[in-house]
Structure 1
């Protein structure tokens, strides 16, 4: 279903909306989109960049924290919000259409997908829902984002589970598998990894880890906040038991959008953290409660359906560009920046140098300078909006490179740092 068909469906699917002039306006594709130029050409990427509305003087390099939404996503969010407000409707009847789009994008079945507000909420649903007991052990890396680590630390505080951590190995995927395996004991129940770590952009060997955890009878949960929208993958091929991500980073969806995947065979092993009218297929006040089928049982109450519709539009926008093309664009830029930084005195690159262990993020530290000082200099002198990395005591700066970034942006980072480190 293409964008115009989806907008028409948005107006007519429930049989209650009259779009009027709003529909006529929306059916005019944004100028320069979809790109008419040869895929991957300079003109093609210029057409992609034209769909973003960030300030002209800002070079944005922080999709790992918060990504801007392109015009088609903003248009869909605005249109669907106004339609729902005009008719005073929840719009929950749009969820299944959006669910099918997002499930296809992630390589899952629609019944394995539920919509959350962010990856943190998805991680929390798994941490609470698995029903761990005092003494049960959970393994995750020391570079886990707070949204990935705090749900487990909270369970440790509340019920006494045991958290065991490993330092990511930047040299080899096998090293990370070995470090995880060394922590497994008879009390281990869950292994969690970041698909791509937030501090340094290290890509974890999820597929190989899934084979290991399945053989051991362990649950594998993946925090995919940094991977969805940066690199293509298929959740069924990865083999994890659950996967949480946010829409507001690399996908360019609105704030407060996220996705939780739970493998179909294991949905019933995750007890709902919250329940409401949308959680149940059948209930009565005498104690009967039958959960609705699939992961959607975790969608418990009224939600902003417009943001969910816009999340699906973000997936469609990336499909139009081409997910492999997006990943390759990011890799080319990251390769260029990494090579430029490696030649600078006092600059240490913390992102793995192995091509199969990194993607579109580059993290570096400057000897003798704090993360805040380096970040501030880049922003104040060149309007280069990166992200300081203070986690794990790294005192570094992270550069996230996406579809609207160019080699010139990478050169601006490198040349600014070259002058800075000579000062």
Structure 2
């Protein structure tokens, strides 16, 4: 038994970290991805988006591709590629050989390489990146960490994510800050209209503007950079919810011009469920109080936001393999492919009587998320039929002035699956018209 245990540990160690030459991704996919990339290297990302041979290589890396359910709710959470799943399982097995040793002395040392790779992906300094569990935790850290006084104003929207809305409302109830919410009727194909609405709401007491980069419900891409430029002219800081943009849209965080940015990594980056990231501009770190206690709460060390205690080290380490998978595709190729998939089905369903979209199909205003509705049916009814009869997983949305079914493909989604979605929506709309 002792001999078997030693062999197991040696095998785990030999497997290497996510960023070593013998990482799971390198062993499993590197050669195939390199060959696929070589074949399309002369094509633009937009041209590669429609190359089904290329994307079949990517699809093979996901176990979700063989699921009996068609998963079109990646806006909620995305399945991880197999190598990410295997990494988490491998590290979990390692930990359970001796938790206090392997967690604190081995895997805890692996956070810094992950931080460095996330920073490289985000275009930031490693010392501006904190690793946490999701966008809610990242953004709540900022929302509750800001020194806001009674009467100070925050501008957000009714279409922001509910957990974020509730955080600001709780500060308003408890401390007397003023939380003002704009309301937008999407889709909007005019950036300046959006910027003007934020600017009109500014008063001398406005301290923070909160912007959702990609609106969770319908996929509207907000003009974050333009809003940040406007806010800076008024001396106002900007908090960005990037839950649905990071790992999908091809951008670097500093390009946005914001001060704070939070995201979930288990959406379009396809990292393990329960992984997130917080970015704070270096000179702003010291003034943000940690959400969880730290011995030096006013430190300028980004790690003060990671004082979680015992956590899932295997899940954290799985982020590394997700980054490998993402980088092997390329950010711009990935963005164009997911947008191609969205437009592929969305343009087709518009031919059906009674079917409407809540999302622009122009590339500057949307990417992967699209809302669809059928006249005379609630989102719950449409979603229920898609799941019960066709085994298509989507998300019904009824929030403020938004009422639709959210459909979100990902890189593992096939055209055949989207053809089935189109056929299903056509049949449901036709049945409703006859009723």
**With structure 2 as the length reference, what TM-score do the two structures score?**
0.86
| Higher alpha-carbon deviation: 193-202 or 244-253 | 244-253
> Counterpart of 2:162?
146
Structure-1 separation of matches of 2:160 and 2:7: 44
After superposition, what is the alpha-carbon deviation per residue over 1:241-298, rounded to whole angstroms, capped at 9, x for unaligned? Answer: 000001121111112211000011211221112224xxx5xxxxxxxx4755432211
22, 28, 40: which one aligns with 1:30: 28
Q: CA RMSD in A?
A: 2.1
Residue 308 (structure 2) pairs with residue 301 (structure 1): yes
Tell me: CA distance 1:65–1:33, structure 2 relative to 1, closer, same or farther (3 Å): farther
- Alpha carbons 2:290, 2:297 under 8 Å: kept: no
The DSSP-based 3-state class of the residue aligned with 2:364 is helix
48, 68, 80: which one aligns with 1:69: 80
Residue 238 (structure 2) pairs with residue 211 (structure 1): no
The DSSP-based 3-state class of the residue aligned with 2:150 is coil
- Alpha carbons 1:118, 1:245 under 8 Å: kept: yes
- Alpha carbons 2:79, 2:270 under 8 Å: kept: yes
> Counterpart of 2:351?
343
The DSSP-based 3-state class of the residue aligned with 1:335 is helix
User: How much does 1:387 deviate?
Assistant: 0.9
> Counterpart of 1:57?
68
| Higher alpha-carbon deviation: 336-345 or 122-131 | 336-345
The DSSP-based 3-state class of the residue aligned with 1:271 is coil
322, 325, 328: which one aligns with 1:320: 328
20, 31, 37: which one aligns with 2:10: 20
311, 319, 329: which one aligns with 2:319: 311
The DSSP-based 3-state class of the residue aligned with 2:271 is coil
103, 110, 132: which one aligns with 1:94: 110
Tell me: CA distance 1:77–1:384, structure 2 relative to 1, closer, same or farther (3 Å): same
Unaligned residue ranges in structure 1 (runs of 5+): 1-15, 281-288
> Counterpart of 2:402?
394
Structure-1 separation of matches of 2:32 and 2:176: 53
The DSSP-based 3-state class of the residue aligned with 2:254 is helix
> Counterpart of 1:42?
52
Tell me: CA distance 1:129–1:34, structure 2 relative to 1, closer, same or farther (3 Å): farther
> Counterpart of 2:175?
159
Structure-2 separation of matches of 1:290 and 1:227: 29
Tell me: CA distance 1:32–1:96, structure 2 relative to 1, closer, same or farther (3 Å): closer
176, 186, 200: which one aligns with 2:218: 200
- Alpha carbons 1:30, 1:71 under 8 Å: kept: no
Unaligned residue ranges in structure 2 (runs of 5+): 1-5, 17-21, 41-47
After superposition, what is the alpha-carbon deviation per residue over 1:327-352, rounded to whole angstroms, capped at 9, x for unaligned? Answer: 11011111222211222211111012
Structure-2 separation of matches of 1:122 and 1:334: 28
Residue 89 (structure 2) pairs with residue 82 (structure 1): no
Tell me: CA distance 1:134–1:206, structure 2 relative to 1, closer, same or farther (3 Å): same
> Counterpart of 1:376?
384
Residue 251 (structure 2) pairs with residue 253 (structure 1): no
User: How much does 1:400 deviate?
Assistant: 0.7
How many residue pairs match? The answer is 397
Structure-2 separation of matches of 1:369 and 1:290: 51
The DSSP-based 3-state class of the residue aligned with 1:86 is coil
User: How much does 1:301 deviate?
Assistant: 3.0
Alignment of 1:115-264 (within 5 A): 115-168=131-184, 170-264=188-282
Structure-2 separation of matches of 1:32 and 1:408: 27
- Alpha carbons 1:17, 1:83 under 8 Å: kept: no
Tell me: CA distance 1:32–1:108, structure 2 relative to 1, closer, same or farther (3 Å): closer
> Counterpart of 1:271?
289
After superposition, what is the alpha-carbon deviation per residue over 1:342-387, rounded to whole angstroms, capped at 9, x for unaligned? Answer: 2221111101233211111111111110111100111122211111
> Counterpart of 1:334?
342
